[in-house]
């Protein structure tokens, strides 16, 4: 453990001042702790030695802990960090066997319900995306260092530990620190509670702020925090954050606060007639992540796991065997949406909620039917006919399609879902349109011409998959005189006759 400089007046003075100042704080904090017998009603008494040492050695860590509900209840370092002999992450520190890593399973000792809700959720499985095309780009096109410091810091990665020597049991620098939401822990549990409840304060208020979600839900492919910030909800939240009552125990929308929702409000927190949950995906009725969106039903299993079933696919029934377990609950996409709407009703009327979902659904349908499904179908035909290889990302057209759905299409869909008009259009459907017509289609024709010496196959694909959708009529036949005249009239009314050339 790092210590203050010894043997100097300055060093000793620093220790005395820190100890004196923190002792005052500790005394005040201790006075607020619940009564009871130490080690019986709360706290392992051996943990007091950890507290006494860290008060001097790492005062910032100590202050965060002591200001937390854990600190005020007497939950000490040892209560969370103690380990058992033989565990891969265990090592001797002073006179205690501890682990640096505190897992969700460790937290479940006191927070059983939260652990069980999180354990089978999509968040807990976030590390599994590291076997995806996203990870292929990171590992191969980018490089492993970018994945370790980038992808895995949000999604989580598998922790590894030093097996021999003086540092045995400590996590390897290549895999630690990591608070990814789907981190793979040495005890078999998935996730990290500190992804949302930063150590050592473990604040509920922090977990309820949009900025916490924005650490990962940000950027070109999933800009939820940017969308939220431009939405009316985000604008009001910033203006009225002092009225949000973020430290409330129950934090019920429309009861404890009414100014605006945060990410946690809609996806996790309680509303009139609906309880809270740590399963962040439970209330999601569309999947907006893949190339083509589908409405999704949720199947829960006896072993605590769950999986989605796209609309139109056969749904198992309660009691059926599934994925090495038994189905205990089925939530249709309508059930999931109803759970989300129950929170909305805390502050909104039926007309607002129904209107929002109508506009949201229409944008997803537009993206799916006009762009995603036709392009995906053509990409499949290109592969079948040998114009592109089965390997991803070795032709330019695959990169263009990737960005259309993975970046621009997601932005449009998320923008519509969270009331972000700029992301729905200019950063969304506008970019999808521009890059479909003036990047993807030209690349399709060039690709086919390079192999065949003509564009016959490309034209046939466009006729087969694009022409039937009237939304593409302007591309094949040009804009109508009526459409152009309407624009011209409006333009000239604003800027004068002859202003539109």
Identify the helix (H) or strand (E) that includes residue 490: helix 481-495
- With beta carbons less than 8 A apart as the criterion, state whether 214 and 224 touch: yes
Chain position carrying tokens 């980038």: 150
Buried b (16+ CB within 10 A) or exposed e, 50-82: bbeebbbeebeebbbbbebebbbbbbbbbbbbb
Bond before 321 cis per omega within 30 degrees: no
At 181, is the secondary structure helix, strand, or coil? Answer: coil
In sequence order, the β-bridge partners of residue 294 are: 287
- With beta carbons less than 8 A apart as the criterion, state whether 433 and 412 touch: no
Instruction: Dig out the tokens for 375 from the structure.
Output: 């392009």
Helix axes 373-384, 456-465, angle to 10 degrees: 140
Q: How far is CA 293 from CA 31, 190, 287, 406, 410, in A?
A: 55, 27, 6, 12, 9
pLDDT of residue 18: 40
- With beta carbons less than 8 A apart as the criterion, state whether 105 and 160 touch: no
State how far the Cα of 341 lies from the Cα of 350, in Å rounded to an integer.
Answer: 9
With 0-12 / 13-18 / 19 or more C-beta atoms within 10 angstroms meaning exposed / middle / buried, residue 397 is buried
Q: How far is CA 279 from CA 15, 120, 240, 488, in A?
A: 45, 8, 27, 51
pTM over 0.85: yes
Bond before 102 cis per omega within 30 degrees: no
Instruction: Dig out the tokens for 77 from the structure.
Output: 């370092």
**Where are the chain's structural domains?**
1-81, 85-90+97-202, 354-468
Angle at 193 between CA 54 and CA 118, to 5 degrees: 155
The dihedrals phi and psi of 474, each to the nearest 5 degrees, come to: -60, -30
Rg (CA), the chain: 28
Q: How far is CA 118 from CA 127, 182, 188, 362, in A?
A: 14, 10, 14, 31
- With beta carbons less than 8 A apart as the criterion, state whether 309 and 335 touch: no
Q: How far is CA 345 from CA 237, 255, 261, in A?
A: 18, 11, 12
- With beta carbons less than 8 A apart as the criterion, state whether 223 and 423 touch: yes
Chain position carrying tokens 């070109």: 220
- Listed in sequence order, the DSSP H helices in 32-182 are 47-57, 59-67, 69-73, 77-81, 104-107, 112-119, 133-136, 144-146, 152-155
Angle at 357 between CA 352 and CA 363, to 5 degrees: 130
- From first to last of its 501 residues, the chain has per-residue pLDDT tens of 333 334 443 344 334 334 444 443 443 333 333 344 555 545 788 899 999 999 999 999 999 999 998 998 889 999 999 999 999 999 999 989 999 999 999 999 889 999 999 999 999 999 988 778 998 999 999 999 999 999 999 999 999 999 999 999 999 999 999 999 999 999 999 999 999 999 999 999 999 999 999 999 999 999 999 999 999 999 999 999 999 999 998 999 999 999 999 999 999 999 988 999 999 999 999 999 999 999 999 999 999 999 999 999 999 999 999 999 999 999 999 999 999 999 999 999 999 999 999 999 999 999 999 999 999 999 999 999 999 999 999 999 999 999 999 999 999 999 999 999 999 999 999 999 999 999 999 999 999 999 999 999 999 999 999 999 999 999 999 999 998 889 889 888 999 988 887
- With beta carbons less than 8 A apart as the criterion, state whether 247 and 253 touch: no
State how far the Cα of 42 lies from the Cα of 46, in Å rounded to an integer.
Answer: 12
State how far the Cα of 405 lies from the Cα of 498, in Å rounded to an integer.
Answer: 39
pLDDT of residue 500: 84
Instruction: Dig out the tokens for 430 from the structure.
Output: 């506008």
pLDDT of residue 498: 85
State how far the Cα of 141 lies from the Cα of 148, in Å rounded to an integer.
Answer: 14
Half-sphere exposure (Cβ direction) of 161: Cα atoms closer than 13 Å: 19
- Cβ atoms within 10 A of the Cβ of 327, count? 19
The dihedrals phi and psi of 257, each to the nearest 5 degrees, come to: -160, 155
pLDDT of residue 11: 43
Chain position carrying tokens 């019986």: 40
State how far the Cα of 39 lies from the Cα of 49, in Å rounded to an integer.
Answer: 13
State how far the Cα of 121 lies from the Cα of 279, in Å rounded to an integer.
Answer: 5
Task: Give how far the C-alpha of residue 58 lies from the chain's centroid of Cα atoms, to the nearest Å.
Answer: 31
pLDDT of residue 2: 37
């Amino acid at each position: 453990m790092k210590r203050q400089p010894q043997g100097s007046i300055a060093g000793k003075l620093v220790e005395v001042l820190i100890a004196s100042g923190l002792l005052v704080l500790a005394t005040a904090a201790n006075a607020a702790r619940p009564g009871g017998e130490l080690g019986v009603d709360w706290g392992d008494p051996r943990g007091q030695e950890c507290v006494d040492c860290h008060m001097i050695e790492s005062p910032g860590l100590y202050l965060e802990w002591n200001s937390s509900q854990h600190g005020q209840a007497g939950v000490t370092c040892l209560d969370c960090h103690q380990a058992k002999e033989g565990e891969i992450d265990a090592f001797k520190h002073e006179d205690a066997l501890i682990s640096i890593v505190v897992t969700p399973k460790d937290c479940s000792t006191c927070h059983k319900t939260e652990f069980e809700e999180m354990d089978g959720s999509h968040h807990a499985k976030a590390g599994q995306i590291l076997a995806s095309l996203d990870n292929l780009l990171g590992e191969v096109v980018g490089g492993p260092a970018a994945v370790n410091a980038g992808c895995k810091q949000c999604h989580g990665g598998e922790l590894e530990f030093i097996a021999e020597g003086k540092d045995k049991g400590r996590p390897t620098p290549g895999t630690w620190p990591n608070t990814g939401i789907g981190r793979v822990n040495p005890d078999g549990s998935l996730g990290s509670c500190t992804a949302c409840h930063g150590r050592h304060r473990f604040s509920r208020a922090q977990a309820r702020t949009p900025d916490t979600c924005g650490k990962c839900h940000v950027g070109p492919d999933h800009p939820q925090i940017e969308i939220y910030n431009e939405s009316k909800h985000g604008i009001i939240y910033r203006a009225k954050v002092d009225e949000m009552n973020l430290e409330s125990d129950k934090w019920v929308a429309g009861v404890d606060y009414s100014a605006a929702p945060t990410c946690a409000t809609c996806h996790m927190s309680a509303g009139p007639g609906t309880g809270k949950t740590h399963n962040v995906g439970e209330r999601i009725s569309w999947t907006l992540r893949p190339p083509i969106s589908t409405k999704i039903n949720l199947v829960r299993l006896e072993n605590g796991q769950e999986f989605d079933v796209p609309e139109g696919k056969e749904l198992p029934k309660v009691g059926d065997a599934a994925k090495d377990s038994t189905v205990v609950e089925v939530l249709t996409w309508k059930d999931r949406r109803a759970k989300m709407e129950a929170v909305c009703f805390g502050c909104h009327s039926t007309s607002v909620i129904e209107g929002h979902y109508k506009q949201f659904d229409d944008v997803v349908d537009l993206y799916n039917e006009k762009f995603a499904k036709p392009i995906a179908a053509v990409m499949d035909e290109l592969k079948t006919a040998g114009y592109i290889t089965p390997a991803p990302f070795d032709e330019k057209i695959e990169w263009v399609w990737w960005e259309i759905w993975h970046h621009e299409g997601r932005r449009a869909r998320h923008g519509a879902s969270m009331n972000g008009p700029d992301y729905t259009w200019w950063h969304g459907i506008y970019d999808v349109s521009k890059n479909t017509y003036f990047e993807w289609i030209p690349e399709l024709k060039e690709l086919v011409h390079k192999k065949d010496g003509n564009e016959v196959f490309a034209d046939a694909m466009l006729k087969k998959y694009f022409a039937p959708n009237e939304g593409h009529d302007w591309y094949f036949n040009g804009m109508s005189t009526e459409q152009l005249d309407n624009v011209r009239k409006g333009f000239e009314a604003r800027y004068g006759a002859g202003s539109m050339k």
